[in-house]
Structure 1
C-alpha cells in the first residue's frame, strides 16, 4: 500500500470524524460495504462513538431516524457506493419533513470512475435533491493543513445546518480511491473540548410586532390554540400558561406532548376529532382567532373545521422558516421560538369570565363521557384504549400511521403520567415504522409500538437489529388482514376491485416471524386475553409481539356507530340549550 496515500486517507477522514464528535455527534448506523471502509473503520476506532451495523439500508436509515428523534440530535448514517444510498431515500424524506437531524454519508468512486461504466457506481451528487437541507461532494483525501481544516469545517457546517431550525438531514458524498484501508495506528483522537462549533441564538419577537399582535389578541373574544406534532417539549408549559392566561382552549394533537405530563390540563381539548364532526356544534365553536404551533394535527375533522371556516386571523408560529400551512388559511407567519412567543403575552390577562373556554371544556368533557359509554364492543379502538391505559409510567409509545394513530387520537385522554407518543408524521408513510421505533428503543426505558399488519410486514427486516443488539420493545400488531383505513374511504363502495387494490389481504401468520427473529409471541382473539398478554410481555426481555386479530368490516361499523351515537346525544343536548349552561 502506498504510504503517502494511506496517510492522506487516514488523517483527512479522521479529522472529519473528530470534528463531528466534538460537536456532539456520537452515534453512527453503518450499512456494510467496501467503498465506505475508511469511514467505517475510523468511526469504529473512535472511543466515544457508538456504532450500529444494519445490513438492510432502508431499515438502517429508519433506525438512525429513530435514534435522532429520541435524542433530538444528529445521528450519522453511513453506506457504500451505488444503490445503497438510494435505499436511504424514504427515511431521508421523512427526516426532512419531520424536521429530524441526520448526517448522511455516502461513499463514492473517485471522479475518474464516475459515468464510465465502473461497477457499483451511480450518479450520487445531489442524490437526495431538495430532500436534504445541504449537500456537498467532498474533495478527495489530502493531508495538508488547509485540507484538514477543510474537512473539519465541512463537518461542523453540516452539524450546524442539520440542527438549525427547521432541523433536517444533510448529505456528504465522499469519493475514495483504493486502497481503502486507513492506518489506525496513526490516529489518536484528541479530547479537545473546544473546537469549531455553530451557535444558534434564540428567535425573539420584535417589540413593534408584539404590540400589534397584542392588540389583536386583546380584541379577540374567541381565540383558539392548535398544537400539532413537532411542538418543542420545552415550550409545553409556556403554551399552557399562555392559554390559561387568556382563556383559550388548546386543541392538542396526541403527538404534541401536551395531553400528558404534570402541567395543568384544564384548558386542553382531547376529543375534538369526535365533536368537530357534528355540524350543529361547529358554528357555536367557531373561533375569531387561531394560533397554531407545530405541524397540522392528525385529525381530519379538525383540518376541515379550520379549512372551511370563514376568513379568520390565523397565526402560524414556527421556530424555523418551514411552511406548515396546508389549509392556506394563515395570515401571519411568525418565526419565533415558541416558548418566547408565549411568554411575550402571559403578563396580561384580558378576561376573567372565560365563558368561551368553558364552552369548549363542557363539550369536550361530555364527548369523552359519551365515547366511553358508547364504545362497548371489543375491537381495535377498545384495544388501543386499553393499551394506552396500561402503559407504565415513563413509557414511550410509537404509533404507525393509518388507523393506529387515529385511534390514539380518539382514546389518548389527558393524564398526569409521563408518557411520550411519537409517529413518523413527516410524510405519513407506513415504511420503516418498526426500525424507527427500535431506534427510539435504544433511549427509552419502556418502549411500545402500535402498528397494523401491513406496516409490520413492510418492515419485518427491522427485527434483525433488535435481535443483534438485544433491544427491548413490545409490539402490538392490529391484524385486520389488510389496509383498514381504506375501508373508511369512498373506494370501499366498489365491491368488485376494493379488496384487490385497497384491502390487500395478506393472510400472514406473524408467529412465524416471531420465531425467525427470536421474539416472544402472543395471539389475541378476545378482550380477556389482551391485558394479561401485555402484563406478561412487560416481564420478558427482548422483543415481544402481541398480535391482535380484528375484523375490518366490524371495526368500521363500530367506529361509525360510535360517532353516530355521540352525534345524536350531543345534538339533543344542543337543542336543549345545553351549550348555554357552559357560560353560566
Structure 2
C-alpha cells in the first residue's frame, strides 16, 4: 500500500493519540530543550541521587539515562517488562527524554532504526530479559548491515538465576554476535562499584555506535530485586568522584577525533594513482549510491561538476528527486544525469555499448539489478569505491580501489589534484539516449488509465513537495521508484534550508531499508523515520508493498496531529 502521512515537525505526540494511529504505539514528547537544559538549576543532583533514588537499581538506571541524555541520545524505545522497570522508570521520569512504548519488541526495534535513519543519531531500545532480547535481532542485523547507530539496553537476571531454570533467564552475553559493534556486560548494581563505571560505559558505547562505521552497541544490564521504587538501604560511597559531573550538564568522558587538514600536495601524494586513472579516463562514469546528509549531496554535486562525467544517481542518493535544486540550474545544465539508465539497459545494443573504463562509486549499495549487472560487464576496468567506512560493498567483486574517506574529503582532493579528460561523444550519446527514454516513459505514463505500479511510482514522486521526506519500502516498491522516479520541476515553494556550504536548497529526504530485512519492519521503521527527520518536514510519504501486487491507500495520518 501507499500511505502518505501529512506531518509537522513541531507536533506534540501524546499518549491519548496512540489509539488513533496504532494499537501498540504510545509516546510522550518531553519538555523543550531550553527548559530542560536548566535541570541543574532546578534541583541539586547530589541530593537527588542520595534522597530520591530508593534503591541501588534506581540509582544506576538514573545514571544510565542521564548520561544518554547528556550525550544527545534522547529518544527511548521501551518494551514493557518487569526486569527492565528501573530503566523504564528512569527514562519516563527524565525531563529531556522522549519515550515511545510498544508491546512488540520487534516493531519497537524497527521504530528505533527508523528514528536513527532520520535523525542520524542513536535511538535507545530498552527491553526486559529473555526472548524479548531475541526479538530485536531483525532490526539489529539491518542496523549493522546498513551502518545505523543504535544503543540496546537489555535488562537481565542476575548471575545466580542463569542456568538454574529461572523464568525468562537466558544467556544474553554477546546475544547478537557479530551484528553489534561491541558488547558491554554491566555488573549487578552494587555499592562496592563506583558509579563512574556506569557513566564511562555509556560514553564508550555511544562513541562506538557513532564512530564510522556506525552500528548498534549492546549493553546488558542485570538487576536483582527490588525492581520498582521500593525503599532499600544503599550507601552513597558509589557516588564518590562524581562531584564535577554533577555540577555540569556534560558527559563524564568526552570523546573526540583529531581532524588533520590535508593540503593540495598531500592529496596529490596520497591519490597519485587515482589522479592518473581519472585524468586518463576516456569513458568515465560517476555512480551515486545512498547519500544521507546535505554535505554528502553537495559534495557529490561538486564532484560531478568537476569530473564532467555522466552521473547515475540511485533513488536513495537524494539526487534523483532534484526539485530542491531550483537555485542550481547552472549545475543541472552542466551535469548529465542518467536517470533512465535502467530502462535504457533493456536494449541489448545499449547494454553492449555501455563500457566505462573508469567508474567512481560514491555512497552505499545500488538498487537496480540491471545497472549493477552493467557495471559488472564493464570489468576489467578501474572501479573506485568511496565511503567513510571500511566495510565492503562489492557483491560482484570488481572494486579495484577502495577509498575510506568522507565524500567531502575525497571531492576536495580530486578537485585540487586533477582535471579529467572531456569525452564529448560519450556524453552526448548518453544524454540523447536518456532524453529518448524520458520521453518514452512520459508518453506511456500519460496513456495509463489505471493505477499500475509504474504510474503510481512516477506520479507519487513527481508530486512530492519541497522539504518532504519519503520512506520507500523494499522489493518492487523501491525498484519501481528507482526506475520511474521523477521530480525535476522547478521548485516554487518558499520553504528552504541551508546546506552547510551556505547554498540554499530545497531537499526531499529519501530513505529505505536496503540491508537484509526484505519487507520486514517497514511500517515501524517509517514511523520512526518520520519522528527522526530533524528538519521542517511538510509531509512524509511511505511506499510499501503487499503481495501479490501493490495495494494503495492515500489517507491523512493521525500519528502526527
**Shorter-chain TM-score tier:** 0.7 to 0.9
Structure 2 counterparts to residues 319-468 of structure 1, below 5 A? 319-347=388-416, 348-351=418-421, 354-375=424-445, 376-377=447-448, 378=450, 379-413=452-486, 415=488, 418-442=507-531, 443=533, 444-454=537-547
2:473/2:519 contact within 8 Å kept: yes
Can you give the 5+ residue segments of structure 1 that lack an aligned partner in the other structure? 456-476, 481-521, 523-533, 545-584
Structure-2 change in CA distance of 1:328 and 1:353 (3 Å): closer
Structure-2 change in CA distance of 1:351 and 1:166 (3 Å): same
1:318 maps onto 2:387 in alignment: yes
Q: Shift of the alpha carbon at 1:181?
A: 2.1
1:16/1:152 contact within 8 Å kept: yes
Structure-2 change in CA distance of 1:184 and 1:56 (3 Å): farther
Q: Which residue does the alignment assign to 1:86?
A: 134
Out of 234, 243, 253, which is 1:196 matched to?
253
Q: In proportion to residue count, which structure has more helix?
A: 1
Structure 2 counterparts to residues 290-301 of structure 1, below 5 A? 290-301=359-370
Q: Shift of the alpha carbon at 1:353?
A: 5.8
Can you give the 5+ residue segments of structure 2 that lack an aligned partner in the other structure? 1-50, 240-244, 492-506
| 1:426 partner SS | coil
Q: Shift of the alpha carbon at 1:307?
A: 1.6
Q: Which residue does the alignment assign to 2:166?
A: 118
Q: Shift of the alpha carbon at 1:191?
A: 5.1
Whole-angstrom distance in 1 between the partners of 2:68 and 2:406: 26
Whole-angstrom distance in 1 between the partners of 2:377 and 2:101: 49
What TM-score comes out, normalization by structure 1 length?
0.75
Q: Shift of the alpha carbon at 1:310?
A: 2.7
| 2:544 partner SS | strand
Q: CA RMSD in A?
A: 2.7
Whole-angstrom distance in 2 between the partners of 1:160 and 1:183: 34
| 1:479 partner SS | coil
Structure 2 counterparts to residues 208-223 of structure 1, below 5 A? 208-223=269-284
Out of 269, 272, 285, which is 1:224 matched to?
285
Whole-angstrom distance in 1 between the partners of 2:150 and 2:260: 23
2:148/2:214 contact within 8 Å kept: yes
Structure-2 change in CA distance of 1:92 and 1:112 (3 Å): same
Q: Which residue does the alignment assign to 1:526?
A: none
Q: Which moved more, 1:31-40 or 1:235-244?
A: 235-244
| 2:151 partner SS | strand
1:309 maps onto 2:356 in alignment: no
Listed one character per residue, the Cα deviations across residues 383-410 of structure 1 (whole Å, up to 9, x for unaligned) are 2212112222221111111111111011
Q: Which residue does the alignment assign to 1:49?
A: 97
Structure 2 counterparts to residues 36-185 of structure 1, below 5 A? 36-143=84-191, 147-182=194-229
2:80/2:102 contact within 8 Å kept: yes
Whole-angstrom distance in 2 between the partners of 1:118 and 1:230: 47
2:338/2:431 contact within 8 Å kept: yes
Out of 274, 277, 296, which is 1:235 matched to?
296
2:128/2:156 contact within 8 Å kept: yes
| 1:226 partner SS | strand
Structure 2 counterparts to residues 502-581 of structure 1, below 5 A? 534=554, 537=555, 540-542=556-558
Q: Which residue does the alignment assign to 1:16?
A: 64
Q: Shift of the alpha carbon at 1:300?
A: 0.4
Whole-angstrom distance in 1 between the partners of 2:274 and 2:138: 40
Out of 343, 346, 352, which is 1:274 matched to?
343
Q: What is the number of equivalent residue pairs in this alignment?
A: 464
| 2:518 partner SS | coil
What TM-score comes out, normalization by structure 2 length?
0.77
Listed one character per residue, the Cα deviations across residues 320-369 of structure 1 (whole Å, up to 9, x for unaligned) are 11111111101111111111101111234334564433332222121111
